[in-house]
Structure 1
Amino acid sequence: MDTNKTILDMIKRKLVVSCQALPDEPLHSPFIMGRMSYAAYLGGAAGIRANSVADIQEIKKHVDLPIIGIIKQVYSGSDVFITPTMKEVDALYQEGVDMIAMDATDRVRPDGSTISELFPLIRNKYKDQLFMADCSTYEEAVKAVELGFDSVGTTLCGYTAATKDKPLPNFELVEKLVSSLSVPIIAEGGISTPDELKRLFDLGIYSAVVGSIITRPMEITKKFVKAIM
């Protein structure tokens, strides 16, 4: 049985929920993320995207769903912080996550390398592992496929210097990726309503990751408060 194909099939045409809370957020806790993932599961989520080995270990206690794992680690001198180095990849692989997502933008990484230099080493080291490329542009997505990533996400569109003014979700980017790339396209970033999600699936995406609007009550509250100020 092709385990990787089975994992991808489990999230095909379905929703993945991102259950994350950073250290400066009130819900930062593996216990809380475990319960959050269980709530997402009960709501119909087909997969979970999670940050840190501790959170992933707790989430596994509550749900039996494919996990897209990341480790957010800030290094001085680099804007790349989503699974930025081999160290974070090693930790996620050893934990046994179903898919590892990492920044696949063209920005210089903490060790001075680019994704074009680093990923071939990772791909060679972990031949059996599924990898998701978190991209911000069409060109980065094309390069990610050439490098051997198994799927491409629009995760970082709007969050890099080159794309900071792009409207989210970026339907134009999604449509271009779906029509020209052969790997699964996973829409992620700025999906705030069910209608937006449906439109993305109508464009032909393989799967979608929705996070803040479901799992970050502080940020949701801020939006409502801002609307009446």
Structure 2
Amino acid sequence: MLDSRLRGTIVSCQAPADSPLHDAYVIAAMAQASVLRGAVAVRIDSPEHIRAVRDRLPDTPIIGLWKQVLPDSEVYITPQFHHARSVAEAGADIIAIDATLRPRPGGERFSDIAKRVREELGKRVMADIDSIAAAIAATEAGVDIIGTTLYGYTPQTQHLKPPGFELLAEMVRRLDGFLVCEGGIASPDMAERAIAIGADAVVVGTAITGIDILVDRYCTRVDAARRST
């Protein structure tokens, strides 16, 4: 039933830590505005923000995560089980976890964390992957929601530019389960293309809620144009 509710547009409501928008009230307002305009679910970072969104949107599916930069590891999206537990306790329905093949902090394996999330916390897992190998491994771990979230954002894929349409197409050909296109969706045309390829849902973030980045892009171009005239 939750899978069917997730089919459509999911909005990632996040903001840089140094932004005035990085405030639980603001994030919850962005999430509510997104749902009022048709978003089927929201993707939210940190227990504090998840709680604020859950209070405002008691019935909306929340994909929760907790970005944590830890020493000696490149993995930062819900890197350990105790982070997943905090996200679940805050009110998330689905826990998004880095499911790339990189070593995890503390030696935990993704498959073990995913199993504990399902069995101990009673939550579903969204595997954030960067490659078909990671997607296959996530499928073998029993995950039924897989997103192209980290395509282009890991050392192994940094030469590639999201959205990962080719990766998505390969996932559609080779995998069963609920497939999400996330990362680099910068226009409605791109979102429509992802669905045409076979994605069950599309996550849009910066193009909708990334005010800091979007304003910076406009100002950079306008200032450059002014200097050239």
Q: Provide the TM-score with structure 1 as the length reference.
A: 0.92
- Please give the root-mean-square deviation of Cα atoms over the aligned residues, in Å: 1.5
Q: Structure 1, residues 173-209: CA drift from partner, whole Å, max 9, x if none? A: 1111111110111110000000000000011101111
| C-alpha distance in 2 between matches for 1:84 and 1:208 | 23
- Report the Cα distance in structure 1 between the residues aligned to 2:117 and 2:36, rounded to whole angstroms: 35
Q: Which residue of the partner structure matches residue 27 of structure 1? A: 21
Describe how 1:62-211 pairs up with structure 2 within 5 A: 62-63=56-57, 64-116=59-111, 118-126=113-121, 128-211=122-205
Percent identity of paired positions between Structure 1 and Structure 2: 35
Aligned partners of 2:128 and 2:137: how far apart in 1? 12
Q: Do the aligned partners of 2:51 and 2:91 also contact (CA within 8 Å) in 1? A: no
Task: Classify the secondary structure of the residue corresponding to 2:48.
Answer: helix
Deviations 1:35-78 (A, max 9, x none): 11111112211100001111111112222310000011111111
Query: Which amino acid is the alignment partner of residue 209 of structure 2?
Result: T
- Number of corresponding residues: 222
Structure 1: any 5+ residue segments left out of the alignment? 1-5
Residues 203 and 82 of structure 1: CA distance in aligned 2, closer, same or farther (over 3 Å): same
Q: Distance in 2 between matches of 1:168 and 1:97?
A: 26
Unaligned runs of 5+ in 2: 225-229
Shift of 1:120: 4.0
Task: Give every structure 1 segment of 4 or more consecutive aligned residues whose post-TM-superposition deviation is greater than 6 Å.
Answer: none
Q: Is the 8 A contact 2:41 2:62 kept in 1?
A: yes
Partner amino acid, structure 1, of 2:77 = I
Which residue does 1:216 correspond to in 2?
210
- Residue 166 (structure 1) shift: 0.8
Q: Using the TM superposition, name which of 186-195 and 108-117 deviates more.
A: 108-117
Mapped partners of 2:108, 2:87: distance in 1:
20
Q: Please give the secondary structure, in 1, of the residue aligned with 2:106.
A: coil
Q: Is the partner of 1:111 in helix, strand or coil?
A: helix
SS at match of 2:42: strand
Pairwise CA distance, 1:224:
2.2
* Correspondence for 2:2: 7
Q: For 2:105, what is the secondary structure of its paired residue? A: coil
> Structure 2 CA distance, aligned partners of 1:66 and 1:117?
24
* Residue identity opposite 1:60 in structure 2: R
TM-score (norm 2): 0.92
Cα contact 2:114–2:125 (8 A) shared by 1: no
1:59 to 41, 53, 56: 53
Contact 1:154 1:189 in 2 (8 A): yes
Shift of 1:118: 4.1
Equivalent pair of 1:106/1:114 in contact (CA under 8 Å)? no
Alpha carbons of structure 1 residues 221 and 87: separation in structure 2 relative to 1, 3 Å: same
Contact 1:107 / 1:114 at 8 angstroms: preserved in 2? no
Letter in 2 for 1:190: G
Per-residue CA distance 1:15-50 (angstroms, 9 max, x = gap) = 000011232222110010011111111221110000
Query: Residues of 2 paired with 1:52 and 1:23: CA distance?
Result: 11
